[in-house]
């Protein structure tokens, strides 16, 4: 979540900007509940304000290591990754969607193709 330019934008700023330009109207942040307050203060509230000015809604889903089909293997201490993160968002996603990772930039064209 470190800035990538002189204006202190993070990679996620660019991705969300591109998604909005491509026509997406809903952003879901999937985070761990224990970092919720810090995330909202550092990133979420700022991006939510930008989204609001473009008529884009923002929701949160919380990834919990125990929220899996089946049993948690002994010794597992970290979340399961992108697939389990999408599962965590099942109650706030009602339309076709794309997944972006906070530390990856896919470029504008990826969003335009996905939005069709």
| 10-residue stretch averages of pLDDT, the chain, 116 residues long | 87 94 94 94 94 97 84 79 91 91 88 64
pLDDT for 114 = 54
Spatial CB neighbours of 66, under 8 Å, sequence gap ≥ 6: 72
Predicted pLDDT at 69? 75
CA nearest to 43, candidates 22, 17, 72, 12: 12
Q: What does the alpha-carbon distance between residue 90 and residue 98 come to, in Å, rounded to a whole number?
A: 13
Please, are residues 19 and 27 in contact by the beta-carbon 8 Å criterion? yes
Give the pLDDT score at 109: 87
Output the pLDDT for position 110.
83
Residue 108 contacts residue 22 (beta carbons within 8 Å): yes
């Amino acid at each position: 979540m470190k800035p990538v330019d002189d204006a202190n934008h993070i990679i996620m700023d660019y991705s969300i900007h591109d998604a909005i330009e491509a026509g997406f109207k809903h952003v879901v942040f999937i985070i761990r509940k224990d970092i919720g307050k810090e995330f909202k203060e550092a990133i979420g509230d700022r991006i939510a304000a930008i989204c609001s000015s473009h008529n884009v809604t923002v929701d949160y889903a919380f990834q919990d290591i125990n929220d899996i089909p089946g049993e948690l293997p002994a010794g597992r201490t970290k979340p399961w990754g992108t697939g389990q993160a999408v599962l965590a968002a099942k109650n706030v996603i009602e339309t076709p969607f794309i997944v972006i990772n906070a530390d990856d930039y896919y470029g504008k064209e990826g969003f335009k193709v996905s939005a069709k």
